[in-house]
Amino acid sequence: MSRLCPITLAASGMLAMSVGAHADERPAPERPLAPRVLVIGHRGEPVRRPEHTLASYGLAIADGADFIEPDLVMTRDGAMVARHENEIGGTTDVVDHAEFASRRTRKTIDGQEVDGWFTEDFSLAELKTLRARERLPRLRGTAWDGQFQIATLDEIIDFVAAASARLGHPVGIIPEIKHGSYFRTLGLPMEDRLLATLAAHRYTRTAPVEIQSFELGNLEYLRGKLGPAQANIRLLQLIGDAQAQPWDVAAAGGTLDYAQMTTPAGLRAIARYADAIGPSLEAIVPRTADGHLGPPTRLVHDAHAAGLELHTYTFRPENQFLAREFWRGDAPHTVNEAGLIAQIQVYLATGIDAFFTDDAAIGRKAVDAR
């Protein structure tokens, strides 16, 4: 993909989708909504194994996830690997490797100063010498630290294909392009690499795939690249905090923010290139000042009216992540299956089409209990 591809050109449509101009002139294309609510294993099943490891993905699949989610970042030599961020000081044992001590540095990633070690400064072979660590050790312990490698996208696809063959039905993959604009500036664009990798595997030529991003220029670009042969690939526009902006819009000097994108006009604009939106839980059912659930917003209704599915993030089983009315006991770190099931069912009643969860087993129980 050229460094001057449409992803980098703000005027190409990224800013033209500003929600007032022409959003009402053409109806959004109609798309069928999901026949059942899908459970997405958020980074696998990180309540039981370190996130973004094959072990974590395997548990999510075994516990009934319909999709598993690898976040993708780039290595120096152009490999796509699964890490939530390109900074790996908090999720690997890189700090214990004296040979990499000099790689620690400070960078600006999507406008934020970040200190640590970064995947783009390592070859894939070097990253394979590291081992995963629990990102939330005080919450979820460290029993599995040091046991699992960083996985490549190719390895994840082969792993999911084998698991799906054993199960007798396909498990979907929902990769997220992380920091797409940033990697493009380094000469490591991800979009065409991702499509090429998906096309290279027989499994992902037919299995359900949904590419997601908080940026929007790359999703617009991908929509233009997808043809009839990639009918199994869908696109998910992730939605951040209301007053925040997609980084590619902000970097281009645009004014569009996520609040504008979730108006009825903004949703119709999204529907011209994406199949679904991915907002936070609070965008659907906000919390009150005392931590309880308030009344739902109109976002699910408005998304469906625009022809979009809604895939919300993220349900976690510990008390501290639940609305206060669902707590069991007073300890924030207590794993609370009944409370999470009850909270998920509140959201299911709003009409969501899919949800991300750190515990696929509980998510599956909540859906099946309906």
Asked if pLDDT for residue 4 goes beyond 50, the answer is: no
Between CA 328 and CA 302 the distance in angstroms is: 34
pLDDT range class, residue 7, cuts 50, 70, 90: low
- pLDDT tens track for 187-207: 999 999 999 999 999 999 999
> What pLDDT does residue 370 have?
83
Asked if pLDDT for residue 16 goes beyond 70, the answer is: no
> Do 355 and 347 form a contact (C-beta atoms < 8 A)?
yes
Report residue 13 CA to chain centroid gap.
23
With a pLDDT cut of 90, the percent of the chain lying above it is: 90
pLDDT range class, residue 137, cuts 50, 70, 90: very high
Sign of the dihedral defined by the CA atoms of residues 162, 311, 348, 50, in that order: positive
Task: Please state the rounded mean pLDDT for residues 253-268.
Answer: 98
Task: Please state the rounded mean pLDDT for residues 60-83.
Answer: 98
| Neighbouring-strand partners of residue 312 | 355
- pLDDT averaged over every residue in the chain: 93
Phi-psi region of 246 (alpha: psi -120 to 50; beta: other; left: phi over 0): beta
Bond before 357 cis per omega within 30 degrees = no
Asked if pLDDT for residue 3 goes beyond 70, the answer is: no
Sign of the dihedral defined by the CA atoms of residues 5, 11, 17, 18, in that order: positive
For the whole model, what pTM was predicted? 0.92
pLDDT range class, residue 233, cuts 50, 70, 90: very high
User: CB atoms < 10 A from the CB of 4, how many?
Assistant: 8
Q: Which two tokens stand for residue 319?
A: 């008390």
The bridge status of strand 71-74 relative to strand 80-82 is: antiparallel
> Do 250 and 4 form a contact (C-beta atoms < 8 A)?
no
Between CA 142 and CA 136 the distance in angstroms is: 9
pLDDT range class, residue 253, cuts 50, 70, 90: very high
| Domains observed in the chain | 6-83+155-368 (3.20.20.190)
Between CA 348 and CA 315 the distance in angstroms is: 12
pLDDT range class, residue 35, cuts 50, 70, 90: low
